[in-house]
Amino acid sequence: MKYDFNIIITTYNREKMLKSLLDDIFKDNKYRVLVTIFDDSSDKPYDLSGYDVKYIRYVKNNGLKKLWRIIGDTFKYCQKIESTYHMYLQDDLRLKDNFFDECVRLFNKIPDDKKVTLGTLMVESQRNQKKWTNILPVEYDGYYKTQWCELVFMCKYKFFEVLDFKMNPIPLKRWKHNPNISSGVGQQISLRILESGYNMYHVIDSLCTHGTHESQLFGDYRKQEKLIAI
């Protein structure tokens, strides 16, 4: 079966929040969607019997330092999915009205044959900021060319091809001098895409909302860099 959107959601100990996100996804959705949940061994399995989703639960928790393994698994999973668009979301997000229509409109509005990602969450603390590729974002009509990618984005199949359907291992020495640093997943993705000659974009007006609640995965790191998008 071919889908309009193949949606990947990572989660850990947030069943209630995840269900709110799923309600947003399925509310009056005219698109054919495949939703797959990757649960990093929550304390107890989720009851998602009321939702048309696939649920994959890890036996052993990977955590922050092995998030690259989970994301690598999702890449391999997506390799076999036929979908016009692919979407990565996180369990603590809420979608704004007309989320899918706006995603399609903005993605197709970008006149760039080398585009591979459109970030759908724009956090105020990251607006107009350089990140891992050390490139200053350029503003266009409704979107930025940021040249970095975090794990809330949409793409087409080309994204996975550029990354060869895999994540490279992130060595534990990354956390030797700073145990609160991020997972390194977004950094690796961004650098590899840029080195391959492709481009990354973000919406100017966030299509998702994210509150001030505590992070299950990033802990102290998110106390320093809060994700607030309204």
- 55-70 residue pLDDT tens: 999 999 999 999 999 9
Neighbours of 35 (CB within 10 A): 22
Give Cβ neighbours of residue 25 (< 8 Å, ≥ 6 apart): 7, 33, 35, 95
Query: Thinking of the domain 3-224, which architecture would CATH place it in?
Result: Alpha-Beta Complex (3.90)
Amino acid at 134: N
Cα 173 off chain centre by: 24
Asked whether 208 and 99 are in contact (CB, 8 A), the reply is yes
Residue 28 — very low, low, confident or very high, per pLDDT cuts 50/70/90? confident
Asked whether 118 and 202 are in contact (CB, 8 A), the reply is yes
Please state the domain extents for the chain: 3-224
pLDDT tens, 192-224? 999 999 999 999 999 999 976 555 554 454 445
Across the chain, mean pLDDT equals 93
Torsion of CA 38, 40, 46, 48, to 10 degrees: 0
Q: What is the pTM of this model?
A: 0.92
- In sign, the C-alpha dihedral spanning 149, 151, 155, 159 is positive
